[in-house]
Chains A and B, each alone.
Chain A
Amino acid sequence: MDFDPVVLARIQFAANISFHILFPTITIGLAWILFFFRLRYTRTADEAWEYAYNFWVKIFALTFALGVVSGITMSFQFGTNWPGFMERVGNIAGPLLGYEVLTAFFLEASFLGIMLFGKQRVSNRVHLLASFLVAFGTSLSAFWILALNSWMQTPAGFVLEDGQFFAQSWSQIIFNPSFPYRLLHMLLASVLTSAFLIAGVSAWRTRRGVDGPATAKVMRVGVILAAVCIPLQVLVGDLHGLNTLEHQPQKIAAMEAIWETGEGAPFTIIGLPDEETRTTRLALEVPYAASLILTHELRGEVRGLDSFETHPPVLPLFLFFRVMLVTAGLMLLVSWCGAFNYWRGREPGPRLLAALSFMTFSGWVATLSGWYVTEIGRQPWIVQGLVGTAEVAADHPSATIAGTLFGYIGLYIFLLYSYVHALRYLSTKPARSLAMLPQRRSRDAQGLS
């Protein structure tokens, strides 16, 4: 077989980073939710909050472990797959990654031990502090990695000498043009993902009749949190889009499959963009809408793909962007129906429970498709407009990369299956095991159970 090693290296990195992002997306939001549960218990002494914490902290620990191991893989793949990247951009990327390890990784990993297993060994105040530091660490980690990612999209604060990047202003490098939008967008995505996860699992448990003493309360937190955050996310997403239009217009043109520059451009709701013929087949269009959305004028001029020397592949951007929008729409619908229901003073009925459990992993779908849009949208560059992806790839033989790629994909499918299976298992079982808590404590060593 004769595959391009660059394509294989990209698929491998994409497989790994896609698998990885599933878990931090949950833990960043869930860490704050757990801290909230602990705070509520401390304030109100209502046992239900403690049950909620005890149940979800187990899922948090499992999710965190998967995030850690897949994250370590990533830190090595920067070097094994893209050695040229660090050689040319190392002066910029290195310190940002370094500060992530120094300020975030050690913090969350160290205090996680106390958060998970130290409740009987430290005071409530110290335990609260440990839970806070874990949550803070996960968010800080997102801060640094998104600073680097955003810099690769909208580079700033550097000078180029002989193909090498040198730092000129660290504040411009970190707070580069797309960074604030991307960071907010990702943090809100994490909160939404974990909100739908806790609401979905709670709904699933209620339908199955395996709910615990705090399930209804947790579902309420999830639904209300989602209902509050989704309109904010739509707003931030729109601002992020306008920022992209300013700095990476070719990405927007590809997302909307706008082939030619023109005034009063239509918005294509759905269709099949074809790069060979440079047309969109089976297009369903709304006249003037693209101009209206992007320039806020009916006859505003929108740059098409024809005005760029290079542009990212159109089909994946166009489709993934729509997957994200549809998922966001469903999230809005379900969470607002749920919130309206609570506002009327009712508990969710069977149809709402079904909808919530259907949406359990909706955050994953939206987050992944959003990331595919923004990352594929940077191609063929690894640093927008400055360093080509193919220039920095390692020259491993295709067979080597293909072999390890199959290994990784097999491992990830197995782990993902095991993760969802464990979620189901924990969701069914603890309702009973929680009730037996006091007896179990007296029994002999139980390991992590």
Chain B
Amino acid sequence: MPPSDDAPSLETLAARVAETPPADRREPALELAKRRLETVLPSQSTALTDATIDRLCPCLDDPDPAVRSAVLVVLRNAMYFQLQGAEMALSEHPPEALADRLLERIDDEHWTVRQAVLLPRYLQPILAATFENDADVDVDTDALSVSASWLADRLFQRLTDPVPVIRKRTSALFFELEDASTVVLAHPDPDRAVTTLVETLTDPADTVFNRGDACEPRNAAIETLLELTGHRPELVTPHFETMLDLLTGDNGYLRFRIVELSIDLLEQGVIGYEAIADDVIDALEQGCYPLRTAETMQLLVSVALTRPDVIDDVASTLRTELAANDSRRLYAQHTAAADALGRLVRESEQPFGAVEETVAERTGDRSLFDAGIDPLVPLAEDHPAFVADALTNGYEALREEDMYDGRFDTELFVSVADRNSAAAEPVLAALSDEASVHNVRRFLASVSETYPTLVADIVPDLLETVETTPPIPRTVCQIIATTAGTGVRIPDELVAAVTESVGPIGNTPAYNKNRRYWAVRALIALSERNHDAVPDRIEPFVEAYRDGQLDDAVDPLELPAAREAGWEPVADESER
């Protein structure tokens, strides 16, 4: 529990540490650290005077690592207050003096002490001032007795510390810098620093924490290498081959970032395609080449153009990607694949299939990209079977996923159907088996608003999956309403169930008003087709609809005409 008011003050506890002989110092030092940690905020009663800070500083050299750690926990906090310029802080010492003392312990022989020095919150301002001249940080680097070069060297040592959490904290500090390559450039031996970074790419230390607290060393390393490539590529190139080995490693993010680094080196003219071709092709053949962005796909094409033996593989990879069912990716991803494939076809001498040729024609300019058009849409005109396969595969996701909001949505389907209904029809036929799945019904209902005739073809299959116990689901009523005009025959039993679904029905949950609306719309549509089973009392709704009084924001049972015709209102407010 936080200390009570009558507990000894921080000053008293600190004095006790300084006065206790080294052999017995551990207990008071830990008590002081605990008090510090439980009352972190600065206030008159908890800040340390300069005199006390000066008395504690020698304990940073105490033979007992527990004392060194405990006192460090207290003094790093005092430095933090000095840096904050906390008004309540008693100390008038410049923060640089304490920073010097704390940094002396950065390579302490005991891990607990090193760990305490490396807590990012406290060390970060010093690094920002040292390596980035951050004007927001109130640290005068001229007043520090350690140089940027010394500090860079120590940070790289901690990046290879045997204790993982120290490596993670050091990595978080690298991450916190705007551009961590400044640490490499400050290092007394930048090449050794780069070697360390490249070795860190295979550091197994894993973390799921926020980057501010601790982060994965390999991620800090690749970020730093990317930044360094931008400024001083010649420092990276000697290690480039080692990095390329990771293109077939099991970390997808690293593979992607290494390809990005390669692209940067290529664009700067520091390397040629021959330097990466073998590794890129190995990754492609092992199915782990990162097709994440337009740039990584274009690199693949550039490599293929220098290596005709892999053109077929690259073309088929890109063709698969442009049609891929991957809900995590945006259409732009697939447009990028089409664009890359088009360029490969245009710039290569070799013959391709009909789909590839069309892709090449349609991507000659950047019109697909600029208009945000999914590549499957223009392909529907000439290659309906190819597009139908891709869509059938894509809409499979509707069957399995609770919430689907990926590439394969109503808009894509309708756009394809607009171009060529032959590319769309087989997709719905394939979905009819799964018409009992809510997401599938919702999709069909949505499509039926634009293309009732397409959906009408599968309504008989759909109806076989519908239980005729009211309430009939909203999506089913909606499909009946929108497709009724095509003359689909709806069984009398189902019409009766839809009529009952106008409700109110027992204590069915309140998803309600909209379901009642679509039940009424279905009945209106069926009555327009003179369906025998539609009761006469639907008449007031037909009139209301005709007069524009009924829309999906209105609860049909609340219409005055409905009351007069004998429809019962919804009694319970919660039913609405």
- Report if A and B associate in a common complex: no
Residues of A within 8 A of B (CB): none
Residues of B within 8 A of A (CB): none
